[in-house]
Amino acid sequence: MAQTSAAPIALEIVKAEGAVLYDKTGKEYIDLIGGISVANTGHRHPRVLQAIRQQMDAYLHVMVYGEFIESPQVQYASYLASHLPPNLNSVYFTNSGAEAVEGAMKLAKRITNRRKIVAFNNSYHGSTQGALSILGSEHWRNAFRPLLPGIVHLQYADFDSLNAITDEVACVVAETIQAEAGIITPSREWMQALRNKCTEQGVLLVLDEIQCGFGRTGRLWAFEEFDIVPDVLLLGKALGGGLPLGAFISSRERMLSLTDNPVLGHITTFGGHPLSCAAGLAAMKVLVEEKIIDSVRRKEELLNAYWKNAGITPVNSNGLWQAIRFDSFETNKKVIDGCLNAGILTDWFLFAPDCLRISPPLNINDEHLMKAGEVISQLVNGTLRM
């Protein structure tokens, strides 16, 4: 099997349930990663499994996306639109978040007839050629050049950088909250200034909520925190309830531009797979109907109390999404390894290797959170062996 790292974690997981993973020896691990913000409703939620079984008994793949009426796609798109602002009422399902990024970039060029795209330093949008072109780190881009031309990277959360957004730009692609930079939350004022600048210049604002969506921050959508609405919304990760699924969402009027000149302006075989849509719809209904998001801020405070009592600073926190910063990657890795030994699964961030990642299932119980908080606190303070 092809590897992406010379030193993978190499755990052999044989079962996952709720917020707990089990390896082949029977050892339990409290999951503080959640598949990188995928398992927001926990692993193998009963309602998600039921939806998968029901759809599996009906049909799997039957035709390329958009050609047949497949009820799981229609039902999920309708449910998503009912929980979004009116201008985000047309859903294009893809296989992944990265493919959603690609579709949004094409949509922006098609609508504006412009070619320039603005993104931000330390942003992460995926590893395909287009997504990599707007990824905010030359270290990760350089080995794969040449990439797309006309890409400009600005400083995230910096007001002066917004002056570079002109009427030559097709779209600005930004994470509502930067994930792999270590949970960087911009000010409300900056996000509103970004929205206003895009509106003034006729530029589409594309917000990437692939990681921060579906309740991760304590709101269903992170952009709600800033009282703004994007022109295009990118979703992935938790969208599929544990199965692969992405989406870019905009207005029906904008999306219709992909239907002609040329026809099939964006096409995918497996995007919006009926099994993934059935699982994703069930998972989103669990989030909403079981009011899981309502407890996110309280659980955030529960963890923050451990960090405060243990003297652990600094911590970037937004809902059940945290980054504990250490003095180096080496120190962070020791804590991560110590956690693993103690049955706590955590990780680091792509652009912030000195930060420990916390992004558990949103329905993780207090007992598991308290155990994780205690273990990390003891490791940092040296009372538990790393």
Q: Which of 226, 248, 245 is nearest to 236 (CA)?
A: 245
Which residues face 207 on adjacent strands?
174, 233
321: left (phi over 0), alpha (psi -120 to 50) or beta: beta
Query: What's at 75, amino acid-wise?
Result: Q
Which residues neighbour 184 within 8 Å (Cβ) at sequence distance 6 or greater? 122, 156, 157, 177, 178, 316
pLDDT digits (tens, 9 = 90+) for 234-283: 999 999 999 999 999 999 999 999 999 899 989 999 999 999 999 999 99
Residue 113: CB atoms within 10 A of its CB come to: 7
- CA dist 272 and 189 (Å) reads 36
pLDDT of residue 67: 87
Mean pLDDT, the chain, rounded, equals 96
Two tokens, residue 53: 């079984």
Structural Rg of the chain based on CA atoms? 21
What CATH number was assigned to the domain covering residues 46-289?
A: 3.40.640.10
Distance (Å, rounded) from C-alpha 188 to C-alpha 165?
Answer: 19
| DSSP symbol at 186 | P
**Per-residue pLDDT tens digits for 158-193:** 999 999 999 999 999 999 999 999 999 999 999 999
Tens digits of residue pLDDT in 81-136: 999 999 999 999 999 999 999 999 999 999 999 999 999 999 999 999 999 999 99
- Please name the residue ranges forming H helices in the chain: 34-37, 46-58, 71-82, 97-112, 129-134, 138-141, 188-201, 252-255, 274-289, 296-309, 329-341, 366-380
Please give the DSSP secondary-structure letter assigned to residue 313. Answer: -
The model's pLDDT over 31-77, given as tens digits with 9 standing for 90+, comes to: 999 999 999 999 999 999 999 999 999 999 999 888 899 999 999 99
Domain boundaries, the chain: 13-44+292-380, 46-289
The CATH code of domain 13-44+292-380 reads 3.90.1150.10
Same fold, 13-44+292-380 and 46-289: no
Q: Taking 90 as the threshold, does the pLDDT of residue 12 lie above it?
A: yes
**pTM of the entire structure?**
0.97
**Mean pLDDT of all residues in 369-373:** 96
The residue with greater pLDDT, 10 or 240, is 240
